[in-house]
Amino acid sequence: MDNNQSFKVSCLSSEEHNDDIRDDLAHYLGCIEICKRRKFFTDENDLWQNEIVHRTENLRLQKVDAEKEVHSRRESWEDNCLSELNRIKFLRKTLAEDEYDNHLVKQLECSGAKWRDSCIYKTGIKEVKRWTNRERRAPLHDQLLPCKRKEPYDLKKDLSVPIIQFEDGEGKDVEDSRVWNKFPNQKVTLSALLEDYPRLRDTEEKNLLSRKPFPNGITYFHIPCNNMIWAEISSTQLRAISGKMLSCKTAIGVANCTEISRRPPHIPGTYILCVREYHQPPNNFVLFMPYLHWESSRKRQQFAKEICSIIRQDKDKVADILKEQKETRQQHRLMLSKPQRTRQEDKKPSRLARLKIWLGLATEGIGDQATSLSIQDLFGEVGKNRDRLMKDSQGRFELKNPLGQYLLDATRLYEGMANYRDKMVLRNYLTEDPPLHPRRTLDQAYYWILDSTGKRDRDQVVYRGTTAKQGDFHRYDRENDEWVEHKEFRIEGECDKCRTNIQKLSRVVMVDQLWMWILDESTIITCFPKRYGANKQDLSGVHKSIRIRLQDGGSDQVRSVYDLALIIIAECSSTFFDRTKKVDRQPQVIDEFSKAIGNVTAAFERLWNWTDKASKVYRSKGNSDASELHVPLLDINPEGKLQREIKDIIEELDIMIHITKTQKDVLTTFIGFAKEKLEPVGGTNYKWFKLNADERLADIQDRIEKLQELRNTADNTATSVGDLLELKQQQASVVQAWQAVKQSEETVRQGRSIMVFTIVTIVFLPLSFMSSVFGMNNIEFSGDSWAVKDEFEYMFPISAGAIFCIILLAFSAWIRSSIWFICKVPATKLVVWLRLYDCWLQFNMPSKAIHQNGINKIERLKEEAKLARFTRDFKRRVETETPDSQPSPEPEKMPGDLEAQRG
């Protein structure tokens, strides 16, 4: 290998590191070869030896203390990795038994078997073993412990709830065997938090929420999803007043299961507000606030599909229940006598009329121009589908390469395992009462009345800015086996542009909700979601930002429960806009909007080139060709696209400004409530809270001003685009007027030429006629007695008279009118006298009506032919279905009658 390769960082960790490893699990699974994992947690490993040296030399620790700390970290790391490996195996087993996702495991096993049976694998694995000397080293397989969990998958046991505890302003670990990690990263399973759990120690309570609070202590529980059911259970376990939660439920307007099943899943079940609980005890406070976050477009599409599937299954379930109830009612009414029909009710439409109605309904909408594709669009779709990969019924791409199929199936299984927990939350609680509040996109949160916002979500500014465009990729020539642009620009080796484009990840802006309960000035319960599938080391996560701030902020920053609540609100509102968070693919939303506005401005400047070029052509004295300017100047589609794009930018900025102003209103209400509680006591706690609260309000106001500044810039750009569009329309009018003048001048010149040719024709036509007459082969003109003088005596006078009459008719309107009057009036009198005009009036059929009558006649003949064929086919089908039955004397029943009987 190249020596330079050893200095390159190839770790899959979310942060760059050498010995400073932040993501233990990613380093263990992504950086260490499988054959080396067995010896990784031994004392002989260089990583632990270097860590001991680092602590003794840089941190000035004793060697014994350094060895103890390193040993403790190694054990914690090993437990975490082995626990995660067991969880991976358990999730794979669970997915294999799942009704909806078992195809992921089956497809991976099938593609893996095909890859191992391929000739490439059988010949290549020997070379790899020989190259790495694998046969003399540890086995290739991972030392994965057998799955110890025999019970089925339990969502509450798989979901972790972070716990943060303070005592006298200092972080304090929760001493309980069911809690792992240290402050502020302690966690507990949701089942251990909400349900009675077997005690492992005599000093422990059956439920963590039922523990008695200690004096001057603050406990913070975070449920990582907006599930009101779990929040109510938590409040009940904390000995809260039952009426309080009911009043909060009424205040936020939670929709019941029946209501949510009748509407789109993105319609919010809760509304934004900040409520103080005025019942006893008076120290309770509930807060609901929206905030902005992000999600990858692929994850959003996957979970949007999952939500729609859950809603559809719930609707089908309700429909089956209603159908069963209807059948039960019908069975109970079988003994009742049926009412007699009146004669009017017995009258049915004729068989032909019923066939016409049925045929009309069956063929309705065929040939609709709104849904038809043009020939160009059809060929475009064919061109797009030429190189498109095939998909199976589960949406899985089918590849010809066995290794590519194996890796693709492994990726799909990884996504399924990462998303399984979040999908189970949706499946179990989306249609409950009260329902789960899923994550919303920017348009879903604002335009919640729309049934679907999929197209609008894929048109977000952040989505367009983070999505690689097809034209950005270099083209690969399969026939010559080369990259065309690489050869043209002399790019050797790896291409930075191709690498950057292929690593782009489409992202969208999401609107999440913070639910917060402050109980008895000692406990905080929050509910807000995290990104889909983000199970480990979500550095852009809101709760991760809260823990980092509490860990790095030093002691005495949380002096009351309101200080901690203020930190939570601040991190929820600011994490998405934090420009220092450049890891984990978090989009820089301000930069993306600035870039989008800049792109529109640049395109706006390019469009001015056409007007400048047109101005030069119009000012030129020569005969410049302006035909190439006609289409660009008359086509307003580019400006229309720019105007639409800038309007979308303004619209999204308005939504973000609205949400940020809502955050300011909620924060102002919360600060007012906290001041009411702290001001009577006074002291340093009140001053400290007031100082931090003023800073948070200033931060939000500064964020509003930045967004408003972007909005003003976009508005100015939109005004400029509108002015350009108006100017272009005026320019098009000028072009048309200029072209009209040019055409009129050309028409005058052509008219003069035609006039000359007309005069010449008028002069020489009689002369040529007379000369041809005298040249005829007959006895009168072919004799030798005629001289040229005699012929001229006849030719010129006759021709002159004819020319004179023709010129009078051509240039005298009075003579033409007189001749028309002399001819038209007698002819009209003759037609009227012969009664021919009366016949014409009686006929009264203009040419347009004759044409339309012909079309109607043709369509009627076609319809009768279709109806006759349909009747024959229907008779044949009825005779085929009932071959042994005798023909009934009653008229044949149509499909509509059969469906009515079934009903």
What mean pLDDT comes out for the span 233-254?
50
Distance CA 841, CA 418 (A): 84
Instruction: Return the structure tokens found at 312.
Output: 């559809």
Distance CA 876, CA 878 (A): 6
pLDDT, residue 780, reads 66
pLDDT, residue 337, reads 59
pLDDT, residue 312, reads 86
The DSSP string of 627-647 is: GGGHHHHH--HHHHHHHHHHH
What mean pLDDT comes out for the span 843-857?
83
Please give the model's pTM, rounded to 2 decimal places.
Answer: 0.72
Instruction: Return the structure tokens found at 12.
Output: 């899959």
- How large is the C-alpha radius of gyration of the chain? 43
pLDDT, residue 539, reads 78
Report the range of poorest mean pLDDT among 452-456, 530-534, 544-548: 452-456
Backbone angles phi, psi at 402, to 5 degrees: -65, -35
pLDDT, residue 768, reads 83
Instruction: Return the structure tokens found at 404.
Output: 């590519």
The pLDDT tens digits for 406-436 are 999 999 999 999 899 999 999 999 988 888 9
What mean pLDDT comes out for the span 729-749?
80
Average model confidence (pLDDT) across the chain? 77
pLDDT, residue 2, reads 38
β-strand pairing of 476-477 with 507-519:
unpaired
Distance CA 702, CA 309 (A): 42
Report the range of poorest mean pLDDT among 75-89, 131-145, 266-280, 571-585: 266-280
How open is the CA angle 110-115-121, to the nearest 5 degrees?
Answer: 160
Distance CA 89, CA 153 (A): 12
pLDDT tier for residue 252 given thresholds of 50, 70 and 90: very low
Which residues have C-beta within 8 Å of that of residue 256, sequence separation ≥ 6?
Answer: 433, 434, 435
Q: Exposed (0-12), middle (13-18) or buried (19+): which is 270, by Cβ within 10 Å?
A: buried
pLDDT, residue 273, reads 47
State yes or no: pLDDT of 599 exceeds 90.
Answer: no
What mean pLDDT comes out for the span 536-559?
84
The pLDDT tens digits for 574-587 are 888 887 766 667 88
Nearest residue to 418 (alpha-carbon basis) of 531, 545, 547:
531
State yes or no: pLDDT of 3 exceeds 50.
Answer: no
Nearest residue to 524 (alpha-carbon basis) of 222, 322, 315, 81:
222
Distance CA 529, CA 512 (A): 7
The pLDDT tens digits for 785-817 are 667 777 777 788 888 888 888 888 877 888 888
What mean pLDDT comes out for the span 503-522?
89
pLDDT, residue 28, reads 81
Which residues have C-beta within 8 Å of that of residue 706, sequence separation ≥ 6?
Answer: 590
pLDDT tier for residue 876 given thresholds of 50, 70 and 90: confident
In 143-255, which ranges are continuous DSSP H helix? 155-158, 190-194, 228-237, 242-252
Q: Cβ–Cβ contacts within 10 Å for residue 643, how many?
A: 18
Distance CA 636, CA 776 (A): 67
pLDDT tier for residue 110 given thresholds of 50, 70 and 90: very high
pLDDT tier for residue 853 given thresholds of 50, 70 and 90: confident
Distance of CA 376 to the CA centre of its chain: 26
Report the range of poorest mean pLDDT among 51-60, 322-331, 339-348, 510-519: 339-348
pLDDT tier for residue 605 given thresholds of 50, 70 and 90: confident
Report the range of poorest mean pLDDT among 679-693, 823-837, 886-900: 886-900
State yes or no: pLDDT of 244 exceeds 50.
Answer: no
State yes or no: pLDDT of 443 exceeds 60.
Answer: yes
With a pLDDT cut of 70, the percent of the chain lying above it is 75
What mean pLDDT comes out for the span 104-114?
91
Distance CA 548, CA 10 (A): 26
